[in-house]
Amino acid sequence: MTKDKNASDEPVTAFEEALKSQANKLMSLVNSGDLSGALAIISELNETRDRTLYVEVGRLTRTLHESIRNFHIDAANSASSANKEELSKIEDASDRLAYVVDMTNKAANKTLDLVEETMPIASDLSAEAEALKNEWGRLKRKEMKPDEFRALTSRMDVFLEQLCTDSNKVYRNLSDILLAQDFQDLTGQVINRVTGLVKEVEDNLVHLVRMAGKVDQITGTVHETEQQQSGIEGEGPQLKAEQREDVVSGQDDVDDLLSSLGF
Amino acid sequence: MNKDMKILVVDDFSTMRRIIKNLLRDLGFTNTDEADDGNSALPMLQTGKYDFLVTDWNMPGMTGIDLLRNVRADENLKSLPVLMVTAEAKRDQIVAAAQAGVNGYVVKPFTAAVLKEKIEKIFERIDS
């Protein structure tokens, strides 16, 4: 790409050199009153400029075509294409990201299902253990009548039986929760591929913009820079929050900010 | 704090709604409903006699900040306590939420303890 860049610098530089060398000549011709000679130089300069422009526009168009071919962007075919191989890279990336959303959604729901199933088991066991602990204390302090003791024994039987089944169930659910985290490996790989594509697209776009800049230079086009929109919009999670002044780094920061506002 | 109070949880992600509902249930609040954005939440609030609103910020349709503004502009809802639970972490946004009349602001990712503390603080102020 570096070689490419140097090559594409050439015509502009040649044009600039021609412009510089002819400018002095033009000046002296105008000063000496040779208008037809001066006009000949102007039209010569115009020709060089046009030629350079054609070369640059040609380059830009070719690079644009190449980029489009590289990413298999084909507006006419992509929608109806039956051949999956022909799928555009961008479309493929969107599909891949949709897959990530789907996988993480399934994993989160599966984990939540298992947690919601396990929590009542744990709290029931804890409640019954608490009750039995109190009864056991009464037994040890010899506060228990024989029929109460018999009731405690059978209650203990039931509890131990329940404990065996339930602790197995809790163990199985925890191990299923563990397995439900396997999405990380798969989604990680997919996201890394998409990140690679985004980088590639960015490089290509930067290259295109650089080439288009040369055309702007020759034609003397100046682009207005868009003003940044201000307003309060949702942006989602902030990255590198700890390095930024305008973003809070955690709940403590939020609390400090709110209390400074009188909350 | 009345544990039977009716709570509406608004978030566009069903998993986040489930997590918040579970945390609320652990805190003893079982009377909870869900909505997936401001547009579906607002009519529910207007007819459902809710005591507390927990909302995300960034949602398609009507966002949480717009839902908050609509709530404060509604004669029957203007004093409804609102807790924002969101990933939005810019200082400007938090100030804007405060100006719009939010009662509490929790940034994601959050813990059960933070959610509990903020809810208790909101109702301490209201009850006092």
Per residue in A150-165, pLDDT (tens digit) is 999 999 999 999 999 9
Would the pLDDT of A217 be above 70?
yes
> Chain A contacts of B108, Cβ < 8 Å?
237
According to the model, what pLDDT value does residue A149 have?
94
Q: What is the mean pLDDT of chain A?
A: 83
CB contact under 8 Å between A254 and B106, yes or no, is yes
According to the model, what pLDDT value does residue A77 have?
53
Task: State how far the Cα of A17 lies from the Cα of A58, in Å rounded to an integer.
Answer: 21
> Chain B contacts of A236, Cβ < 8 Å?
58, 87-88
Would the pLDDT of A106 be above 60?
yes
Question: Would you say the ipTM is above 0.90?
Answer: no
Half-sphere exposure of A114 (CA within 13 A, CB side): 19
Q: How confident is the model at residue A223 (pLDDT cuts 50, 70, 90)?
A: confident
Q: How confident is the model at residue A5 (pLDDT cuts 50, 70, 90)?
A: very low
A56-60, A221-225, A234-238, B109-113, range with greatest mean pLDDT: B109-113
Q: Name B55's bridge partners.
A: B10, B84
E strand or H helix at A78: helix A75-78
Q: A250 vs chain B: nearest CA distance in angstroms?
A: 7
According to the model, what pLDDT value does residue B102 have?
96
CB contact under 8 Å between A109 and B105, yes or no, is no
According to the model, what pLDDT value does residue A128 have?
96
For an interface test with B, which of A248, A252, A253 has the most B Cβ atoms less than 10 Å from its Cβ?
A: A248
CB contact under 8 Å between A251 and B110, yes or no, is yes
- Identify whether the C-beta of residue A99 lies closer than 8 Å to the C-beta of residue A190: yes
Q: Which residue has the higher pLDDT, A234 or A176?
A: A176
pTM value is: 0.70
For the segment A200-220, the average pLDDT, to the nearest whole number, is 82
According to the model, what pLDDT value does residue B98 have?
95
> Chain B contacts of A123, Cβ < 8 Å?
none
- Identify whether the C-beta of residue B59 lies closer than 8 Å to the C-beta of residue B38: yes
Tens of pLDDT, residues A33-53 = 888 888 988 898 888 888 888
Would the pLDDT of A79 be above 60?
no
- Identify whether the C-beta of residue A121 lies closer than 8 Å to the C-beta of residue A131: no
Q: How confident is the model at residue A208 (pLDDT cuts 50, 70, 90)?
A: confident
According to the model, what pLDDT value does residue B74 have?
95
According to the model, what pLDDT value does residue A1 have?
40
Task: State how far the Cα of A51 lies from the Cα of A119, in Å rounded to an integer.
Answer: 77
CB contact under 8 Å between B96 and A238, yes or no, is no
Q: How confident is the model at residue A76 (pLDDT cuts 50, 70, 90)?
A: low
Please report the number of interchain residue pairs, chain A to chain B, with beta-carbon separation below 8 angstroms: 71
For an interface test with B, which of A104, A111, A255, A261 has the most B Cβ atoms less than 10 Å from its Cβ?
A: A255
Q: A139 vs chain B: nearest CA distance in angstroms?
A: 33
According to the model, what pLDDT value does residue B34 have?
96
Instruction: Name residue, tokens 């115009």.
Output: A46
- Centroid of chain to Cα A263: 35
Would the pLDDT of A10 be above 70?
no
Chain B positions contacting chain A at CB under 8 Å are 14-15, 18-19, 22, 57-59, 63-65, 86-96, 98, 105-108, 110, 114
Find the length of chain B.
Answer: 128
Would the pLDDT of A246 be above 80?
yes
Nearest to A257 among B14, B94, B110 (CB): B94
Chain A positions contacting chain B at CB under 8 Å are 105, 108-109, 112, 115-116, 119, 232, 234-238, 241, 246-251, 254, 257-258, 261, 263
According to the model, what pLDDT value does residue B45 have?
96
According to the model, what pLDDT value does residue A104 have?
93
Q: How confident is the model at residue A62 (pLDDT cuts 50, 70, 90)?
A: confident
Would the pLDDT of A4 be above 50?
no
Assigned token pair, A234: 């949702």
CB contact under 8 Å between A232 and B19, yes or no, is no
According to the model, what pLDDT value does residue A2 have?
41
First to last CA, chain A: 57
Would the pLDDT of A85 be above 60?
no
Helix-strand-coil split of chain A, %, nearest 5: 80, 0, 20
Nearest to A250 among B18, B57, B107 (CB): B107
Whole-Å CA distances, A162 to A16, A154, A156, A203, A255:
89, 12, 10, 63, 45
CB contact under 8 Å between B57 and A254, yes or no, is no
Query: Mean pLDDT in runs of 10 for chain B (128 residues)?
Result: 92 92 92 96 95 95 96 95 94 94 93 92 87
Residue A237: closest CA among chain B residues belongs to which residue? B87
Residue A113: closest CA among chain B residues belongs to which residue? B18
Q: Which residue has the higher pLDDT, A165 or A199?
A: A165
Task: State how far the Cα of A124 lies from the Cα of A69, in Å rounded to an integer.
Answer: 63
